[in-house]
Every structure is written in structure tokens, then in C-alpha cells.
């Protein structure tokens, strides 16, 4: 999947700073990290797999049968291939260097205790989730407002802001269709493409 990620990235993301962001990603565990501790793709390489899945889902949501971005949403709503790649591939960049492995004990089928590796969060940059991704990307290249909102709010109504009583996610969804679509793509990838037992 790393090769697929790199191919999509290099073909579509060409704005100034994109090369530096990709070089930074190569210095992190982004391509070997899990997508989560235990919820989906909790295995080495899960994060890059999830990123590609979200890109593919978002691309399918915003392109018509002939492959024209935005056509299914009318002339006033068009999204470039670069924007699709940025939002899909980089929405969870906040998870680079985010997980570590601990050894835990459990009983095996014979009832004997054994050690097994378990992913845990080790957040060295506690800046949130979607907002942390925007922050990291913005350190290398400029995002459009639409892209920043889509990445920031890709968690939708499970975002901690909403859980704390905030209304920002609903406001963002009302103003930025790409934020809604990125959230939908993330849900589709997580619950349809990455179902347990994959």
C-alpha cells in the first residue's frame, strides 16, 4: 500500500512544500503504524492502508462516471484531484509517531499466560486530532480553507469538540461540503472496507 500511496501522492499533490511533507513522512512511522490501537486496522501498515481507502472512497464520492470531479454535485461544487488526494491521504497524518507497542499478558488456548504486543497511544504532540493534522500539513504546504475544514472535521460528530457540547462541526458541515464528504469517506473506509476480520 505504501507504493500506492506514494504513486497517488506524487501524481496529484504538487503544490509548493508537498515534496518536503513527503520527505518528512518518510522519517516517521506513518507507513508502518497501525490505524488505531484496536478498532480498525490495528496492525503494522494499517494507517497507510486506511489513508488510501479514504482517498479511494472520497474520489468515488466526488467524481462522476466519466471521472470529472464535482460533476455529481453541480457546477458550483468542484474539487480538484489534488484536493481529493490531500484530504484522503493526509487526514490522519496526526497519527504519525503516535502509537507505541507495549507487551501485555493474556491466556492462550491452553490456559497458559503469554505475552503479546499491544498498541498504545504515546502522543508527543497533544494538539487534538483533525486540528493536529491541519497543523502538521500547514507546516509544509498551504491548505485551502475547504481542505483545512475537511481535514479538521473528518471525525464528524464523534469529534471531542462535539462531545463536549460544541456546535462547530455542524457549522463546518453546513458551510463546507468537502468536510461532509471527507467524513463520509472516512466512515465508509473504516466500517465497510476495514471491517473486523479483514
Q: Which CATH number characterizes residue 139's domain?
A: 1.10.3210
Write the secondary structure of 89-137 as one string of H (helix), E (strand) and C (coil). HHCCHHHCCCEEEEEEEEECCCCCEEEEEEEEECCCCCCCCHHHHHHHH
The pLDDT of residue 71: 47
- The radius of gyration of the chain from alpha carbons, rounded to an integer in Å, stands at 18
Instruction: Tell whether 92 is covered by a domain.
Output: yes
The C-alpha cell at 30 is 506513518
The pLDDT of residue 39: 73
The pLDDT of residue 159: 63
Instruction: Tell whether 118 is covered by a domain.
Output: no
pTM: 0.85
Instruction: Tell whether 117 is covered by a domain.
Output: no
Instruction: Tell whether 7 is covered by a domain.
Output: yes
Cα–Cα distances in Å, from 186 out to 54, 92, 116, 150, 151? Answer: 5, 10, 29, 11, 10
The pLDDT of residue 118: 73
The pLDDT of residue 197: 47
Task: Let me know the angle formed at the C-alpha of 29 by 145 and 84, rounded to the nearest 5 degrees.
Answer: 30
In angstroms, rounded to a whole number, what is the distance separating the alpha carbons of residues 137 and 21? Answer: 7
Instruction: Tell whether 121 is covered by a domain.
Output: no
Write the secondary structure of 146-187 as one string of H (helix), E (strand) and C (coil). HHHHHHHCCCHHHCHHHHCCCCHHHHHHHHCHHHHHHHHHHH
Instruction: Tell whether 198 is covered by a domain.
Output: no
Instruction: Tell whether 163 is covered by a domain.
Output: yes
Determine the structural domain holding residue 33 and report its residue range. Answer: 2-96+127-193
Domain count across the chain = 1
Instruction: Tell whether 106 is covered by a domain.
Output: no
User: End-to-end distance of the chain based on CA atoms, in angstroms?
Assistant: 15
The C-alpha cell at 12 is 496529484
Q: What is the pLDDT along the chain (198 residues), one digit of tens a residue?
A: 999 999 999 999 999 999 999 999 999 999 998 888 777 787 888 899 999 999 999 999 988 655 555 545 555 667 899 999 999 999 999 999 988 877 888 888 888 888 877 787 888 888 888 999 999 999 999 999 999 999 999 887 666 665 666 678 888 889 999 999 999 999 999 989 887 644
In angstroms, rounded to a whole number, what is the distance separating the alpha carbons of residues 73 and 64? Answer: 9
Amino acid at each position: 500500500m505504501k507504493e500506492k500511496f506514494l504513486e497517488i501522492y506524487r501524481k496529484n499533490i504538487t503544490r509548493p512544500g508537498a515534496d518536503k511533507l513527503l520527505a518528512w513522512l518518510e522519517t516517521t512511522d506513518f507507513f508502518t503504524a497501525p490505524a488505531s490501537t484496536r478498532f480498525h486496522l490495528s496492525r503494522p501498515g494499517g494507517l497507510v492502508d486506511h489513508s488510501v481507502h479514504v482517498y479511494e472512497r472520497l474520489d468515488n464520492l466526488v467524481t462522476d462516471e466519466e471521472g470529472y470531479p464535482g460533476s455529481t454535485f453541480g457546477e458550483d461544487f468542484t474539487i480538484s484531484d489534488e484536493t481529493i488526494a490531500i484530504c484522503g491521504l493526509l487526514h490522519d497524518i496526526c497519527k504519525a509517531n503516535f502509537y507505541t507497542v507495549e507487551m501485555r499478558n493474556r491466556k492462550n488456548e491452553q490456559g497458559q499466560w503469554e505475552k503479546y504486543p499491544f498498541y498504545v497511544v504515546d502522543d508527543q504532540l497533544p494538539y487534538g486530532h483533525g486540528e493536529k493534522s491541519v497543523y502538521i500539513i500547514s507546516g509544509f504546504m498551504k491548505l485551502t480553507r475547504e481542505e483545512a475544514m475537511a481535514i479538521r472535521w473528518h471525525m464528524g460528530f464523534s469529534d471531542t469538540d462535539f462531545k463536549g457540547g460544541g456546535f462547530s462541526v455542524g457549522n463546518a458541515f453546513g458551510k463546507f461540503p468537502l468536510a461532509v464528504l471527507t467524513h463520509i469517506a472516512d466512515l465508509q473506509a473504516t466500517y465497510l472496507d476495514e471491517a473486523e476480520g479483514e
